[in-house]
């Protein structure tokens, strides 16, 4: 085989590979581009589903600015409620559980002309590798409109399901299920994800003040959404990487048992 012929074969191989790579990329009318990394075999999500997603977020130069794998737990959010950027809403809705995609996100489907300082500059194209881990059953009782209740300290609560059991008091052991979210809707902690309830003694400063105050007003079997101002949550210090300083927190709390 002469060198000229060998070079032609190499060129054909390169062009063929390039064409296959381009053909793998799918463009949508919104401007989102994506490539399938792994095709999942589970069901597709629909608006209102609670999704668990692992992801890596990168700038175009490959700089990683966020990574759920490093944190050790996936993000959770409700699809269709504007809790994540538009590209995620669109890109994940057509995936199957178990699938993994590379999303190439134009600025208008990401963080736009404001960016997300200091990590993401304005008008930045982003690259996300997203993995749809699971579609979790959502407790639909928390979607039911309920009676509002406010406290003098600034806590706002929505009672979705009235309880009829025991009312907790100082020194009692309480068992709860909860989901904790930032005001953006981003879930930062959940007993449902861990697969077990949380138990503690009321009045021993084991939990944030907002929890204590809310639980004193609840009865066993009750479900409430509790909106907690920063001074009754994690204050100016926040909580590690999960809760920024001065964050208003939203908890969906179910009082399972009082002993």
Catalytic residues: 55, 65-66, 85, 111, 128
Asked if residues 65 and 55 have their Cβ atoms less than 8 Å apart, the reply is: no
From the number of C-beta atoms within 10 Å of its C-beta (0-12, 13-18, 19+), residue 63 rates as exposed
CA separation for the pair 248, 194 (Å, rounded): 23
**Among candidates 49, 92, 224, 82, which has minimal Cα distance to 150?**
224
Identify each DSSP E strand in the chain by its residue range. Answer: 25-27, 33-38, 50-59, 64-67, 75-78, 100-105, 126-136, 147-150, 156-161, 173-182, 187-190, 198-201, 223-228, 249-258
Residues ≥6 apart with Cβ < 8 Å to 248? 182, 183, 227, 228, 229, 230, 233
């Amino acid at each position: 085989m002469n060198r000229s012929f060998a070079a032609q074969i190499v060129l054909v191989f390169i062009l063929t590979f390039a064409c296959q790579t381009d053909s793998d990329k799918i463009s949508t009318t919104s401007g989102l581009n994506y490539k399938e990394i792994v095709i999942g075999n589970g069901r597709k999500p629909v608006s209102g589903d609670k999704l668990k997603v692992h992801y890596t977020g990168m700038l175009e130069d490959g700089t990683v600015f966020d990574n759920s794998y490093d944190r050790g737990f996936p993000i959770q959010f409700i699809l269709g409620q504007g809790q994540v950027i538009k590209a995620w809403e669109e890109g994940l809705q057509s995936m199957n559980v178990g699938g993994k995609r590379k999303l190439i996100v134009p600025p208008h489907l990401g963080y736009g002309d404001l960016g997300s300082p200091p990590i993401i500059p304005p008008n930045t194209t982003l690259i996300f590798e997203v993995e749809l881990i699971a579609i979790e059953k959502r407790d639909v009782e928390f979607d039911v409109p309920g009676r509002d209740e406010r406290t003098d300290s600034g806590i706002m609560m929505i009672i979705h399901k009235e309880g009829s059991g025991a009312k907790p008091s100082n020194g009692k052991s309480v068992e709860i299920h909860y989901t904790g979210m930032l005001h953006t809707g981003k879930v930062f902690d959940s007993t449902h994800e861990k697969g077990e309830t949380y138990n503690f003694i009321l009045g021993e400063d084991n939990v944030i003040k907002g929890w204590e105050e809310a639980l004193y007003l609840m009865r066993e079997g009750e479900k409430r959404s509790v909106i907690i101002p920063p001074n009754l949550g994690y204050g100016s210090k926040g909580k590690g990487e999960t809760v920024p300083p001065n964050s208003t927190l939203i908890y969906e709390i179910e009082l399972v048992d009082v002993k």
